[in-house]
Copies of this chain bind each other. A is one copy, B any other.
Amino acid sequence: MAGFPIVASRRLRSTPFTERVEAAGLSSYSVYNHMLIPVSFASLTEDCAHLKEHVQIWDVSVERQVEISGPDAHDLVMKLSARDMSQARQGKCYYAPITDGQGGMLNDPIILCLDKNRYWLSIADSDVALWAAGIAEGLGMNATIHEPDVSPLAIQGPKSDDVMAALFGEEIRTLKFFNYAYYDWRGHELLIARSGWSKQGGFEIYLHDSALGTILWDDLWEIGRAYEMRAGCPNLIERIEGGLLSYGNDMTRNDTPLECGLGKYVSLDSAHDFIGKKALKIQAEQGLTKHIMGVKISGPPIAPPANIFSCRSDGREAGIVTSACYSADFDTNLGIAMMSSSISASGDLIDILVGDEWRSAQTSPLPFS
C-alpha cells in the first residue's frame, strides 16, 4: 500500500500546520477524522529514537473536538461516557470510552469539562459527533453538538518542559499530568494540557484559530533549535512499546472496553447510568471470551503496512494481532493482540501468521517492559 500519494480536498482536509509539516521533512501520511496526519519523517525507527531523547513538535489537528454545549450538555456527556463524569471539573482531562448499546467501543476520547454545560470530546478516528447528535435527537435533549475550529499541536519528549517554559513561562512546568490550564501567547489565551499520545511526556496545545497555526508552529520551532527539536508524529513503535491502544486498529465496535483492558475507565459499580452499561455488566459477570495483550514475534523485522495477523495456540485459532512493528530497543517485533481468554498475557507461547509464515511468539503484558 505504501508508495502511492494521497490527494487532499475539502473532504479530506489539510491542517493549519500542513505547510510546515511538509517543509519539515514529512515522508508519509495517514488520514484520521477526514484529515491528514503525519505518519513518519526520517523513518519510524529514527523518529522513535529521537522522540525518546529530545523533543518533537506534532501536528495532531486530527484530534478534532466534538463540542457539546447547552442546558443538557452534562446529562448527554454522562449518557455517552462509560466513565462517571458526575464529578468532572474544569482543568482536568478524562480519558473515557464511549460505547454503544451492546457495549461496543465507538470512540475513546479525552473529555475536557470547559464549564458546567460545555464539554470537548477530543476524539479518536470516528464521527462520534453523529452518535452524540443521534442520542440527543432521539432522547429530545437540549444540547448543541458541533466541531469548533480547534487544532491540537503537541510537544512531546523529555525536553518538552524546557521548550514550553521558554514560550509560555516557567509556571507551565507545574502543570500536572492530564490537567489543563490557560496560558498567554501573543495576547491569546491558549488551552494547554499536559498530555499526548506518547509515553515520553509532553503537552497538547488546543489552538483555537486556524489562522494562527503557522505563527504558533514557528514560535515553537525557533525555541526548539536549542533543544534539537524535530517535527514528529505519534510513533507506531513507541506507542506499541508503551501499550497505547489505537481506536480502529486495536479496538473496534466489535470490542468492549473490558476486553480492551480499559475496565478502570468504566463505571459499572456506581449509580452512573450510560449507554452500554447493562451489556457491560452482563459481560463482567459472565467473564470475557477475549482480551487484549502484547506479543513478541520472532523472525525478521516487521514493517508497516502490516495486515491483521492470525494467531494460533496448539493448532487452534487464538486471536488476531491488530498492530505490529519492529522495536530496536526491544530488539524484536512487538505487537498488540486481541486474544482468546484461554491465552494468558504472562508469557504463553503461540504461533502468529506473518505473510505466509507461521512464526513463534510469546505473550506479554502491556506496556512492554
Q: Which residues of A contact B (CB under 8 A)?
A: 1-12, 14, 18, 22, 26-32, 34, 36, 39-40, 100-101, 106, 125-128, 130-139, 246-249, 275, 304-308, 322-323
Does B306 lie within 8 Å of A9, measured CB to CB?
yes
Does A28 lie within 8 Å of B7, measured CB to CB?
yes
Does B7 lie within 8 Å of A5, measured CB to CB?
no
Once A10-B308, A30-B6, A125-B34 are accepted as A-B contacts, the answer to whether A133 and B100 lie under 8 Å apart by CB is: yes
Q: A216 to chain B: closest CB distance in Å?
A: 20
Chain B residues with Cβ under 8 A from A12's Cβ? 30-31, 248
Q: How far is the CA of A137 from the CA of B100 in the complex (A)?
A: 8
Chain B residues with Cβ under 8 A from A249's Cβ? 9-11
**Residue of A36, A132, A135 with highest tally of chain B CB at under 10 A:** A135
A35: nearest chain-B partner, CB-CB: B31
Does A2 lie within 8 Å of B1, measured CB to CB?
no
Does B11 lie within 8 Å of A1, measured CB to CB?
no
Q: How far is the CA of A361 from the CA of B156 in the complex (A)?
A: 47
Chain B residues with Cβ under 8 A from A131's Cβ? 127, 130-131, 133-134
Does B10 lie within 8 Å of A323, measured CB to CB?
yes
Q: How far is the CA of A130 from the CA of B359 in the complex (A)?
A: 38
Chain B residues with Cβ under 8 A from A10's Cβ? 248-249, 307-308, 322-323
Chain B residues with Cβ under 8 A from A4's Cβ? 5-6, 22, 26-29
Identify 12 residue pairs between A and B in the complex whose beta-carbon atoms are under 8 Å apart, listed by A's number.
Answer: A1-B22, A2-B5, A2-B6, A4-B5, A5-B27, A7-B305, A9-B30, A10-B307, A12-B30, A12-B31, A12-B248, A132-B134
Choose among B28, B247, B323 the residue that contacts A6 (Cβ–Cβ < 8 A).
B28
Does B130 lie within 8 Å of A128, measured CB to CB?
yes
Does A5 lie within 8 Å of B3, measured CB to CB?
yes
Chain B residues with Cβ under 8 A from A31's Cβ? 6, 12, 31
Does A101 lie within 8 Å of B248, measured CB to CB?
no
Given contact pairs A9-B306, A10-B323, A127-B128, enumerate 4 new A-B contacts (beta carbons under 8 Å): A7-B29, A7-B39, A11-B246, A130-B130
Q: How far is the CA of A307 from the CA of B11 in the complex (A)?
A: 10
Q: How far is the CA of A56 from the CA of B186 in the complex (A)?
A: 55
Q: A64 to chain B: closest CB distance in Å?
A: 13
Q: How far is the CA of A100 from the CA of B147 in the complex (A)?
A: 15
Does B30 lie within 8 Å of A1, measured CB to CB?
no
Q: How far is the CA of A192 from the CA of B134 in the complex (A)?
A: 32
Once A10-B249, A127-B130, A248-B11 are accepted as A-B contacts, the answer to whether A5 and B29 lie under 8 Å apart by CB is: yes
Q: How far is the CA of A125 from the CA of B130 in the complex (A)?
A: 13
Chain B residues with Cβ under 8 A from A2's Cβ? 5-8
Q: How far is the CA of A368 from the CA of B306 in the complex (A)?
A: 44
